[in-house]
A and B are shown apart, each in its own frame.
Chain A
């Protein structure tokens, strides 16, 4: 029978109390942002603030604060209200329904992309830790890969995907989006796994060597548990990147049904329907939060390995 020391219960209460306090501050922060928005709308100049403008030359100068009229900056309650109005007039479902379904599509694709990225990144990390030569050869390219803009890859991957599809093996369009999302997701995982597997102390490695433990037992009993504090922030970052990659790829390829395309579409109609683009915008924000939150849940199950986590 296990007995819980009085200290543990007190500590757990203290931790959950801290959680509520953090959440409280967060809500306060969001409220402050909303207040600033409305305050600027109320107090700011109608045409915004431009520096360096030349009289008579329209479009000159740099606008550093936006125009405050309702077409450029809708009221917050207008944005919220718009969510409940039909998506594109008439009997189409309310905007928030369309946003949610588009967000779910993108989330699903991002999840697949994340999985692929985690597998590939994890494998690369393992290989790089195992053989120094592989690390030296591959790591610079892996780092460089993130400087290559996504926009370049999307059409290529889409074209290759179409080819594969035409030659017999089915390859739906969303899979191309997932592959592009995985391209952004694999990088933090590869780095995190590499750092994490190399994290154990010299003393612990010597200990395993004294037990004549080979590569695989050492990996299982020492390196993998020691890598958890590095792995979890990496997985979180990979999730956020996968969402980003999915959204950009959707726009790039022109995939229907996802939230990326909805963003562009509604932004195009912004002059007649200014509050509408905010719907998918909020949707993308929530999407990112859900993705990161899901990884945090995974983290909870691994809590006993997280003695000192490095923040991404």
Chain B
């Protein structure tokens, strides 16, 4: 049976684990036979503070790509989910396509996109981020649009509500929490996709290319400082969308 641990442990536990990781890591670098590619946390922190300006510039590039991908992907996903919920044929064609998209390595099309749109365009990365965001939002919104409970549908029918009234008063509010969940999942995926796509070609800016460049040239601590920059972007996206999800889910029908 679960023991009743005090509430503060919930916050202390992960922090404790984090401290353990940092300590073990530092000790391994100091006294173990750590490779040069793995510098100590202190060295990483140092580089991060020192090179903040250039890190921030690249963070903006990657972050903007991810944001564009998230926004466009979500908007498209909502539109297509609406179409799929309304029309069987569209749902029939989209469902297998989206299922396929969900299991293939999307970043693999980045080289081709760069060829199609030119190597100086950010479009390839934005497109990959868009697709990465599209999938979870589409799946979740479609599910949400279908989650209206029979008793609520009966209620609106008994109140002689028109189709659009039923949509506004019932279907939309029911689907909203699912949209928020989809956005939360999509946010991290969009950031990772935008970042990893950089590794497959395109302009020479962005966090991903910098990580690769500095890793290849042996400047490990700086490469890791860029990694921290990437993590910060991901965290920011995740926290904002999680907050939105919490706010909306308070009154979910489930």
Contact present between A and B (CB < 8 A): yes
Binding site for B on A (CB under 8 A): 21-23, 25-26, 28-30, 32-33, 48, 59, 62-64, 66-67, 72-73, 132-133, 136-141, 144, 146-152, 155-156, 158-160, 162-163, 236, 239-240, 243-244, 247-248, 251-252, 260, 263-264, 266-267, 270-271, 274, 277-278, 280-281, 284-285, 287-289, 291-292, 311-312
Q: Which of the residues A48, A136, A311 comes within 8 Å of B10, measured between beta carbons?
A: A136
Rounded to whole Å, the gap between the CB of B105 and the closest CB of chain A is 4
The docked-state distance in angstroms from the alpha carbon of A287 to that of B92 is: 23
Rounded to whole Å, the gap between the CB of A70 and the closest CB of chain B is 12
Are A151's CB and B238's CB within 8 A? no
Are A149's CB and B230's CB within 8 A? yes
Binding site for A on B (CB under 8 A): 2-3, 5, 9-10, 13-14, 16-18, 21, 33, 35-38, 89, 92-97, 100, 102-105, 107-109, 111-112, 114-118, 120-123, 139, 143, 188, 191-192, 195-196, 199-201, 207-208, 211-212, 215, 223-224, 227, 230-231, 234-235, 238
List, in ascending order, chain B residues with CB within 8 A of A133's CB. Answer: 5, 9, 13
Rounded to whole Å, the gap between the CB of A219 and the closest CB of chain B is 14
CB-nearest residue of chain B to A26: B96
The docked-state distance in angstroms from the alpha carbon of A236 to that of B89 is: 26
Q: Which of the residues A25, A152, A264 comes within 8 Å of B111, measured between beta carbons?
A: A264
Are A244's CB and B107's CB within 8 A? yes
CB-nearest residue of chain B to A130: B2
Rounded to whole Å, the gap between the CB of A124 and the closest CB of chain B is 12
Q: Which of the residues A72, A140, A247, A266 comes within 8 Å of B14, measured between beta carbons?
A: A140
Are A66's CB and B117's CB within 8 A? yes
Are A73's CB and B116's CB within 8 A? yes
Q: Which of the residues A22, A72, A137, A139 comes within 8 Å of B115, measured between beta carbons?
A: A72
Are B208's CB and A62's CB within 8 A? no
Sampled A-B contacts (16; CB under 8 Å) = A25-B95, A67-B116, A67-B118, A132-B2, A138-B17, A147-B192, A149-B211, A152-B215, A156-B35, A159-B35, A163-B35, A244-B107, A251-B200, A264-B200, A270-B111, A291-B103
The docked-state distance in angstroms from the alpha carbon of A252 to that of B215 is: 10
Q: Which of the residues B120, B143, B215 comes within 8 Å of A155, measured between beta carbons?
A: B215
Are B199's CB and A278's CB within 8 A? no
- A interface, over-half SS: helix
CB-nearest residue of chain B to A32: B93
Are B143's CB and A311's CB within 8 A? yes
Q: Given that A33-B97, A248-B199, A291-B103 are known contacts, is A151 also in contact with B38, CB under 8 Å in the complex? A: no
List, in ascending order, chain A residues with CB within 8 A of B224's CB. Answer: 152
Give how many A-B residue pairs fall within 8 Å (CB-CB).
Answer: 194
List, in ascending order, chain A residues with CB within 8 A of B231's CB. Answer: 144, 147-149
Are B123's CB and A289's CB within 8 A? no
Are B38's CB and A156's CB within 8 A? yes
A64, A133, A137, A240: which has the most chain B beta carbons within 10 Å?
A137
Q: Which of the residues B3, B96, B118, B230 comes within 8 Å of A29, measured between beta carbons?
A: B96
Q: Which of the residues B16, B95, B108, B235 comes within 8 Å of A147, measured between beta carbons?
A: B235
List, in ascending order, chain B residues with CB within 8 A of A263's CB. Answer: 108, 111, 200
Rounded to whole Å, the gap between the CB of B227 and the closest CB of chain A is 4
List, in ascending order, chain A residues with CB within 8 A of B201's CB. Answer: 264, 267
Are B211's CB and A151's CB within 8 A? yes
List, in ascending order, chain B residues with CB within 8 A of A312's CB. Answer: 102
Are A141's CB and B208's CB within 8 A? no
Q: Which of the residues B13, B107, B111, B191 comes within 8 Å of A267, measured between beta carbons?
A: B111
List, in ascending order, chain A residues with CB within 8 A of B89's CB. Answer: 25
Are B111's CB and A285's CB within 8 A? no
The docked-state distance in angstroms from the alpha carbon of A144 to that of B13 is: 15
List, in ascending order, chain A residues with CB within 8 A of B92's CB. Answer: 21-22, 25, 28-29
Are A132's CB and B3's CB within 8 A? yes
List, in ascending order, chain B residues with CB within 8 A of A270's CB. Answer: 111-112, 115
